[in-house]
Copies of this chain bind each other. A is one copy, B any other.
Amino acid sequence: MQKTAILLIHCPDRRGLVAAIADFLLSHNANILHADQHQDGESMLFLMRVEWDLSDFKLDLARFGMEFSPIAERYQMDWRLETSSPFPKLAIFVSRQDHCLADLLYRHRGGELACDIPLVISNHAEAAPIADFYRIPFHHIPMATGQAQEVELRQMEILDRHRIDAVVLARYMQILSPRFVARYPRRILNVHHSFLPAFSGARPYHRAFDRGVKLIGATSHYVTETLDDGPIIEQDVARISHRDQLEDLIQKGRDLEKMVLSRAVRWHIEHRILVYGNKTVIFD
């Protein structure tokens, strides 16, 4: 498998940007595989993702920052460099419902998700068998009343020990503390079972059913301090009718949740998501 580098850039839009970046990469013999850019006319921003083959790239990546910094400074770039390997390390958090977990682990095994999944953490035991089947270590950390702080400390200790890069909340029904969220900025992915901003908060299917909507939705997003308010990564919907009872909404919703969360995970680990303000650009 080809090893590649991915450069993500975000800066004020100015003449000469593309030429500066392309010349820099060419001067080090980069063979560009994919390049995608977006110019936000309203906010005068330039956003770019460029990926190149590392096999004959002449610049040591350890020295990339030093070499690239003059360009970055000239254009006031906010940038980061990623590589396709080693794979990012993901921890999956889950509560009782394990459909998103089972879906992610199946895709992972089949090669759809280019990441390592060293562990699953749950406040319940239900999801242990599916994690075992895919040979992913399962950490059962029950959540007793008033123990949230201790539980989070244990969780963070485990994440640290495994040098986890990102956390996927795959129907994890606990609210993370601001301290936890701050530790993984733009690196905690959640799935909410509604078409946000509609029905943020608790029991969205019940509220959708009561309101009589004709479509239900699901949303994957990055977690921020404010509940269900982080940058949206993906959304999808399914049609319902009066023939659908509440349990039908929940059943149809599970398929939506799997789709929007698995797409978000894939885009995240392939470094296809750029967050700016409270919005995302998906370079797919």
Among candidates B16, B39, B211, B234, residue contacting A214 with C-beta atoms closer than 8 Å: B234
Within 8 Å of chain B (Cβ to Cβ): is A157?
Answer: no
Stoichiometry, copies per complex? 4
- Contact size class for A? 35 or more
Within 8 Å of chain B (Cβ to Cβ): is A19?
Answer: yes
State whether A232 touches B211 (Cβ < 8 A). Answer: yes
A235 to chain B, nearest CB (A): 4
Within 8 A of B (CB), among A94-149: 99, 102, 106, 110, 112, 129, 133
Within 8 Å of chain B (Cβ to Cβ): is A88?
Answer: no
State whether B106 touches A102 (Cβ < 8 A). Answer: yes
Nearest-CB residue, chain B, relative to A97: B110
Interface of chain A: mostly helix, strand, loop or mixed: mixed
* Chain-B contact segment, one of A72-80, A177-185, A275-283: A275-283
Among candidates B31, B198, B241, residue contacting A282 with C-beta atoms closer than 8 Å: B241
Contact with B along A1-42 (1 / 0, CB 8 A): 000000000000001111100110110011111111111111
Q: Which residues of B contact A158 (CB under 8 A)?
A: none
